């Protein structure tokens, strides 16, 4: 019993000190690898020059990932005062991320539709809108519960996990599977696997950590993961079935 009691706190301390920092590094690795697949051909040297806003968005996006790692490292080093002090800079950066995310999504959808004459720009627009919203809502809740560390850090992880959808989407060519389009369930599964399976796995890892060490899953994951799954299902259904209500909405947005 004594040995067991001695081991348990050390496990808890190890998890508290390293888990979220390691998850921040994992998210950064996903983002770097994912975007490295397309950054050369679609940003730096594309056949058709991209709108300047895309460069601004990319810079702010990677800045946010670095900031997330910094904040996790400060907590790991027990420098909570610095973590809180620069946290308000993070709020401003997150607001900038949201505004840039929405505006870049619209700009690129218009670019894809009118300049590149790409197929299904409306689908990409909805996916982008969902991704940035899935980031913004947990982040806003994390700020609201900033004085409750158990909620705050989990909500921050949830919001940053949502951002990896764009990176996971570059692991495999999402819309280069024309055969799958003739089979709607297969096509829906292909989109989910490409975009959202990785996001959900990141959250499941965090939930598994809670279950293994705390013997229960924290409410953030109990509510957050089903909410993500429900919204992903809604997005997939809308994209796969080309829902008329969304096509009309997208056309009104894109002009």
Q: What is the mean pLDDT of residues 176-190?
A: 59
CA distance 13 to 16: 5
Residue 66's contacts (CB-CB under 8 Å, 6 or more residues apart) are: 28
CA distance 254 to 110: 6
pLDDT category of residue 2 using cuts at 50, 70 and 90: very low
Largest CA distance in the chain: 70
Give the pLDDT of residue 5: 45
Give the pLDDT of residue 41: 81
Residue 33's contacts (CB-CB under 8 Å, 6 or more residues apart) are: 167, 171
CA distance 84 to 91: 11
Give the pLDDT of residue 45: 83
The string of pLDDT tens digits covering residues 25-64 is 999 999 998 888 888 888 888 888 889 999 999 999 999 9
Higher pLDDT, 94 or 172: 94
The string of pLDDT tens digits covering residues 124-179 is 899 999 999 999 999 999 999 999 999 999 999 999 999 999 888 887 655 445 54
Give the pLDDT of residue 155: 96
Residue 73, pLDDT above cutoff 70: yes
User: Which of 138, 108, 94 shows the shortest CA–CA distance to 227?
Assistant: 138
Q: Are 102 and 136 in contact (CB under 8 A)?
A: no
Q: Name the most confidently modeled range: 3-12, 43-52, 92-101.
A: 92-101
Look over the chain and give the mean of its residue pLDDT values, rounded to a whole number: 85
CA distance 38 to 31: 12
Q: What is the mean pLDDT of residues 6-11?
A: 51
CA distance 64 to 101: 12
Strand intervals (E) in the chain: none
Residue 83's contacts (CB-CB under 8 Å, 6 or more residues apart) are: 71, 74, 75
CA distance 170 to 184: 21
Give the pLDDT of residue 184: 63
């Amino acid at each position: 019993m004594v040995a067991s009691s001695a081991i348990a706190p050390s496990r808890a301390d190890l998890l508290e000190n390293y888990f979220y920092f390691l998850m921040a590094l994992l998210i950064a690795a996903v983002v770097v690898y994912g975007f490295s697949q397309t950054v050369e051909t679609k940003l730096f040297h594309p056949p058709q020059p991209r709108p300047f806003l895309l460069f601004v968005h990319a810079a702010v996006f990677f800045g946010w990932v670095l900031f997330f790692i910094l904040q996790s490292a400060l907590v790991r080093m027990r420098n909570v005062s610095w973590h809180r002090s620069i946290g308000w800079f993070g709020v401003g950066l997150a607001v900038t991320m949201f505004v840039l995310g929405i505006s870049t999504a619209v700009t690129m959808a218009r670019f894809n539709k009118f300049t590149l004459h790409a197929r299904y720009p409306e689908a990409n627009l909805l996916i982008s809108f969902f991704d940035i919203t899935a980031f913004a809502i947990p982040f806003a809740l994390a700020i609201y519960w900033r004085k409750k560390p158990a909620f705050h850090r989990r909500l921050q992880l949830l919001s940053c996990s949502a951002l990896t959808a764009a990176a996971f989407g570059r692991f495999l060519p999402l819309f280069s599977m024309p055969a799958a389009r003739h089979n709607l369930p297969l096509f829906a599964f292909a989109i989910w696997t490409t975009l959202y399976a990785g996001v959900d796995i990141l959250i499941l890892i965090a939930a598994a950590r809670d279950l293994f060490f705390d013997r229960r899953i924290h409410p953030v994951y109990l509510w957050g993961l089903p909410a993500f799954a429900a919204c992903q299902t809604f997005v997939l259904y809308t994209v796969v079935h080309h829902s008329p209500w969304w096509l009309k909405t997208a056309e009104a947005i894109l002009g």
